[in-house]
């Protein structure tokens, strides 16, 4: 789809995020670990603390997909939500603008899902080393080979033209599910309350869900969640995945590099005050260049040259919770592990509970690894090595580019400082010839 391609290009152009790590690739679980859908959920749950956004996003995605396969008679029971009140008539232009805005939002949803290419994607997925998408991304009642209806059938109901479904014609489809969703994500006492949703949009969704079960009832909530995930959470997740060390180790690298830069400055000052010729100050370049490379790379979250194949050396704050708890109770180091999604044949029970639509609040403070991690000191977090296998070539290439740019700019800055120091007059205080 041309619209989907434009979304992918616009998303990949944000910063220097590779197209293979775009928002669509991560959401469709086509990015290899540590940038898979499982890893994105880990980041939202343990780092950003906004896992409910992705949980609601995935449910709505699946809901629209299932709605497109309903019979016309079922769709006719729940027409699209019209926010125009009968007592407050609006102009034809305003009504047309509302319909056009709703059409554009639904086009974005369908562009992400790529309903038309679902069958070809299933064949490609069978050849991929990654397992199939989580169960909630697929319709539990519709075969994978079913051909979804076009967008016009989602936005507006049609006259029944097929066999009767023998269901009560007065009950809208999926009414109980929509009620559970509003109580689970939109009500003030919801266990997974959408905190980033504006109050006006939340009120609109609550009112609309009382009149219809059409996907347009919760379209404002989806639009707000999708914008937050695409514009803020995903870029932050991509750059967080770029890191190959924990915060404590990166802080240690910055401190050591800063000390080396200061040592080079002191040596340059000593040589300038001495009676030695100015070319002797070039030796400071051997200290400044590596230190500035380390500072530049650590600023992007990369510690030195990435190790091929297993290069995410993480502290407990970046490892999976189960591995963090296991690593804090044992004395082993440099243990290479992989996420659940790297299994050749993943079953629904292997997917993390946080990917389920309904569940307890997203709170991990009671997990045993939290107390064990907080009890560790700075030095223990900095020196302990927990490796995570990296199967994503795009991520490895991105880390290589960061190191190359760091070497380039570190050399430019260090050379410029060294050349500038050559023009400082000789002090001649000692070592005079």
Residue 376: left if φ>0, alpha if ψ -120 to 50, beta else—which one? beta
Both structure tokens of 117:
């290419």
**Predicted pLDDT of residue 415:** 96
Residues 6 or more apart whose CB falls under 8 angstroms from that of 242 comprise 300, 301, 302, 395, 398, 399, 402
CB 247 within 8 A of CB 301: no
CB 7 within 8 A of CB 24: yes
Nearest to 33 by CA among 410, 389, 278: 389
Total residues belonging to the chain = 433
Quickly count: other Cβ atoms within 10 Å of residue 313's Cβ.
21
Place of tokens 């232009």: 93
- Give the orientation angle of helix 247-273 with respect to helix 285-299, to 10 degrees: 160
Nearest to 317 by CA among 386, 256, 265: 386
CA 364 → CA 10, 36, 115, 186, 415, distances in Å? 34, 21, 35, 21, 48
Strand, helix or coil for residue 269: helix
Both structure tokens of 303:
């510690």
The CB-side HSE value for 122 (13 A sphere, CA atoms) comes to 12
Q: Which residues of the chain have pLDDT under 70?
A: 1-15, 84-170, 305-352, 385-386, 428-433
What phi and psi values does residue 388 have, to the nearest 5 degrees? -125, 125
**Predicted pLDDT of residue 103:** 57
Quickly count: other Cβ atoms within 10 Å of residue 161's Cβ.
8
| Cα 167 from Cα 271, distance rounded (Å) | 91
**Predicted pLDDT of residue 106:** 58
Q: Which helix (H) or strand (E) holds 308?
A: none
Which residues share a beta bridge with 430?
274
**Predicted pLDDT of residue 278:** 87
pLDDT in tens, 117-154: 444 444 444 434 444 444 444 433 333 333 444 444 44
Place of tokens 């790297």: 342
Nearest to 225 by CA among 195, 205, 199: 195
Determine whether 85 is exposed, middle or buried from the number of CB atoms within 10 Å of its CB (0-12, 13-18, 19+). exposed
DSSP string, 3-36: HHHHHHHHHHTSTT--GGGSHHHHHTT-SPTTSS
| Cα 173 from Cα 76, distance rounded (Å) | 10
Both structure tokens of 389:
């296998």
pLDDT in tens, 208-217: 999 999 999 9
CB 278 within 8 A of CB 422: yes
| Cα 341 from Cα 347, distance rounded (Å) | 10
**Predicted pLDDT of residue 25:** 94
CB 274 within 8 A of CB 309: no
Residue 15: left if φ>0, alpha if ψ -120 to 50, beta else—which one? left
Both structure tokens of 344:
């050749």
pLDDT in tens, 177-195: 999 999 999 998 899 999 9
**Predicted pLDDT of residue 110:** 54
**Predicted pLDDT of residue 319:** 43
């Amino acid at each position: 789809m041309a619209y989907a391609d434009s979304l992918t290009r616009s998303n990949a152009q944000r910063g220097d995020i590779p197209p293979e790590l775009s928002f669509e690739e991560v959401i469709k679980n086509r990015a290899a670990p540590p940038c898979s859908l499982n890893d994105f959920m880990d980041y939202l749950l343990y780092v950003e603390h906004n896992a409910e956004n992705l949980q609601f996003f995935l449910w709505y995605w699946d809901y629209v997909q299932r709605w497109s396969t309903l019979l016309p008679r079922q769709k006719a029971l729940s027409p699209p939500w019209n926010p125009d009140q009968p007592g407050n008539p609006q102009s034809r232009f305003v009504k047309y603008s509302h319909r056009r805005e709703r059409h554009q939002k639904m086009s974005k949803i369908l562009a992400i899902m790529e309903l038309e290419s679902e069958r070809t994607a299933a064949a490609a997925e069978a050849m991929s080393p990654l397992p199939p998408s989580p169960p909630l991304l697929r319709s539990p009642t519709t075969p994978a080979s079913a051909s979804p209806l076009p967008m016009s059938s989602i936005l507006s109901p049609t006259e029944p033209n097929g066999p009767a479904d023998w269901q009560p014609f007065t009950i809208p489809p999926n009414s109980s599910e929509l009620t559970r969703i509003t109580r689970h994500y939109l009500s003030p006492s919801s266990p997974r309350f959408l905190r980033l949703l504006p109050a006006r949009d939340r009120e609109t969704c609550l009112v609309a869900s009382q009149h219809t079960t059409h996907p347009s009832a919760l379209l404002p909530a989806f639009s707000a969640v999708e914008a937050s995930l695409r514009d803020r959470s995903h870029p932050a997740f991509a750059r967080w995945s770029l890191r190959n060390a924990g915060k404590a180790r990166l802080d240690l690298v910055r401190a050591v590099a800063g000390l080396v830069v200061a040592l080079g400055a002191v040596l340059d000052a000593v040589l300038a005050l001495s009676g030695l010729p100015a070319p002797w100050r070039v030796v400071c370049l051997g200290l400044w260049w590596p230190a500035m490379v380390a500072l530049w790379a650590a600023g992007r979250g990369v510690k030195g040259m990435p190790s091929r194949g297993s290069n995410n050396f993480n502290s407990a704050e970046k490892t999976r919770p189960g591995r963090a708890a296991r690593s804090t109770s044992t004395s082993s180091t440099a243990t290479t592990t992989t996420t659940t999604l790297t299994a050749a044949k993943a079953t629904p029970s292997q997917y993390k509970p946080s990917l389920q639509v309904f569940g307890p609040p997203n709170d991990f403070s009671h997990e045993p690894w939290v107390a064990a991690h907080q009890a560790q000191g700075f030095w223990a977090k900095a020196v302990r090595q927990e490796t995570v296998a990296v199967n994503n070539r795009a991520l490895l290439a991105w880390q290589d580019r960061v190191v190359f740019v760091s070497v380039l700019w570190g050399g430019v800055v260090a050379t410029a400082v060294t050349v500038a120091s050559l023009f400082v007059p000789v002090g001649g205080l000692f070592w005079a010839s």
